[in-house]
Chains A and B, each alone.
Chain A
Amino acid sequence: MIARFLEQFPIVFASLNVGFLQTLKLFFVTLVGALPLGLIIAFGSMSSFKPLSAVVKTVIWIVRGSPLMIQLLILYYFPGLVFGANIWGQGETGRFVAASVAFIINYACYFAEIYRGGIQGVPKGQAEAGQVLGLNKRQVFFKITLMQMIKRIVPPMSNEIITLVKDTSLARIIALQELIWAGQSFLKGSQGIAGAIWPMFFTAVYYLAFSAILTVLFSKIEKKMSYFKV
């Protein structure tokens, strides 16, 4: 049995690495899109223009109130059903684009709520102090509020981002060839290996290692910002 494992390992390892690369790509693309989009959504939900904030809040409710897996399915297949053509492009690239869009929208809504809490948590006196010193609204946000908001949101954001690491596996539902998909392929049969369950188990090692790195990174960021208190 050990001999068979040793024989399978290099093949499986190479495949899992390819899958993991796709997982990483989805992870980073989601962050790059959702981090700024979340800020825009947060401002939308705090807008004093009632129709705008109502629409944005409804979108946030829908996105946070339904499973990401369903959102992936709808986003990927619904345009095809309506327009009769896959708008996402063919094959793996198309699946990746669709998954990225779904993840960015989903995570942007979660981030937006964290941002909103962070912004509203900064005492009103901070903006007032800036205002009487002659700063305009933009300057108050970028020079005063932003840094305090970042410090407040690092702990909840790190939670959410570590959740994202694991959530990328949901893209399996539209057959994106990410880590879980790669592991599962050896169960069904691939490269001469079939019925092997251990590659699936082994994928957990990747997720654990990656979230360990992120945990260390976030505690470093927290430490870096400990020079001031909010």
Chain B
Amino acid sequence: MSILNVEKLTKSFGDVEVLKGVSFSLEEGEVLSVIGSSGGGKTTLLRCINFLETPDTGRITVEGKTAFEGDPSRVNEKQYTPFIDRNVQHSLGLVFQQFNLFPQYSVLGNLTLAPRLAAKKREDFKTAKKEIYAEIDEKALSILKATGLSEKKDNYPCQLSGGQQQRVAIARALMLSPAILCFDEPTSALDPELTGEVLKVIRELRESGHTMIIVTHELEFARRVSDKIIFMANGLIEEMGTPDEIFENPKSEKTRSFIQTDYLSAN
């Protein structure tokens, strides 16, 4: 069973159809990169998977559970609302291009905020609050250690470099142990000399078996880190394949010219 299934997903903003029927699946432990030129719908796809946008039609299944289902033959009916199950959000994590750290919380506070709130739903919360919070702190510290941020735990986001902020954002997403971790251009807002430290963290996550979807313009990185690559153009998957297939032997003319202008010119 695939960990994520996306079937014929469509999404329009007003009259503009941004996703025109996107289908793909992801297996546990796989790393998928999504590349493509600007405006192709990559961010929209990621936002749909994470419930930040509601798709129009199609189906999204996460770990076998249907998260979204919209019937194309009924979307035009006034009283029709697509099926949506936001509980699946627990299985997903998203790292934004602009980090979106919470400025009023320290690094540790950013990591522990959501897990602490989630813990309130536990039956043993009242009796074991201290222990639960201690557990959460411990997990946060070990994740900070793994991302090389132990010394920054008491700093506030405004005191960190962009690269450090993005690593905190990754650590924050990891706190909820998402089954699938998504990234939307995690290094695009960074100075070139700071991208390396973030990409290194992502590579290490791959080593430890995390399932990830990475929207990126870093083609060389995508090639090295991914099991699968999707090339998106105009709201459709133009081509999907292994890094070698996409980079060495693209079937589509669009893929070829994108790779040539974007990648070969840089290398």
Which residue numbers of A lie inside 8 Å of B, CB to CB?
123, 125-126, 128-135, 139, 143-144, 147-148, 151, 227-230
Within 8 Å by CB of A135, from B51, B98, B100, B117, lies B117
Closest to A146 in B: B104
20 example contacts (A-B, Cβ-Cβ < 8 A) are as follows: A125-B96, A125-B100, A126-B100, A128-B96, A129-B100, A130-B114, A131-B52, A131-B89, A133-B113, A133-B114, A133-B172, A134-B90, A134-B114, A135-B113, A139-B117, A143-B113, A147-B104, A228-B103, A228-B158, A230-B103
B170 within 8 Å of A (CB atoms): no
Min Cβ gap B108→A in Å is 14
Docked pose: A33 CA to B156 CA in angstroms: 34
Which residue numbers of B lie inside 8 Å of A, CB to CB?
50-52, 89-90, 92-94, 96, 98, 100-104, 113-114, 117-118, 156-158, 172-173, 176
Residue among B51, B52, B103, B113 with most chain A CB within 10 A: B103
Docked pose: A203 CA to B89 CA in angstroms: 61
Chain B residues near A126 (CB-CB < 8 A):
100, 102
Within 8 Å by CB of B114, from A135, A228, A230, lies A135
Closest to B96 in A: A125
Min Cβ gap A125→B in Å is 4
Chain B residues near A131 (CB-CB < 8 A):
51-52, 89
- The answer to whether B50 touches A132, judged by C-beta atoms less than 8 angstroms apart, is yes
Chain A residues near B90 (CB-CB < 8 A):
134
Docked pose: A130 CA to B172 CA in angstroms: 11
Within 8 Å by CB of A228, from B51, B52, B104, B118, lies B104
Instruction: List the 4 closest A-B pairs by CB distance, nearest first.
Output: A133-B114, A129-B100, A125-B100, A229-B158
Closest to A147 in B: B104
- The answer to whether B96 touches A129, judged by C-beta atoms less than 8 angstroms apart, is yes
Closest to B52 in A: A128
Docked pose: A140 CA to B52 CA in angstroms: 14
Chain A residues near B117 (CB-CB < 8 A):
134-135, 139, 143
Min Cβ gap B153→A in Å is 15
Chain A residues near B100 (CB-CB < 8 A):
123, 125-126, 128-129
Known A123-B100, A144-B102, A229-B103; further 9 A-B contacts with Cβ < 8 A: A125-B96, A126-B100, A129-B102, A132-B52, A132-B94, A133-B114, A133-B173, A148-B103, A228-B157
Docked pose: A130 CA to B52 CA in angstroms: 11
Docked pose: A151 CA to B89 CA in angstroms: 30
Chain B residues near A144 (CB-CB < 8 A):
102
Within 8 Å by CB of B156, from A130, A133, A228, lies A228
Min Cβ gap B13→A in Å is 15
Report if A132-B93 is in contact (Cβ < 8 Å); known contacts: A139-B117, A143-B113, A143-B117. yes
- The answer to whether A125 touches B98, judged by C-beta atoms less than 8 angstroms apart, is yes
Chain A residues near B50 (CB-CB < 8 A):
132
Docked pose: A189 CA to B100 CA in angstroms: 65
Docked pose: A130 CA to B51 CA in angstroms: 12
Chain B residues near A230 (CB-CB < 8 A):
103
Chain B residues near A143 (CB-CB < 8 A):
113, 117
Docked pose: A151 CA to B105 CA in angstroms: 13
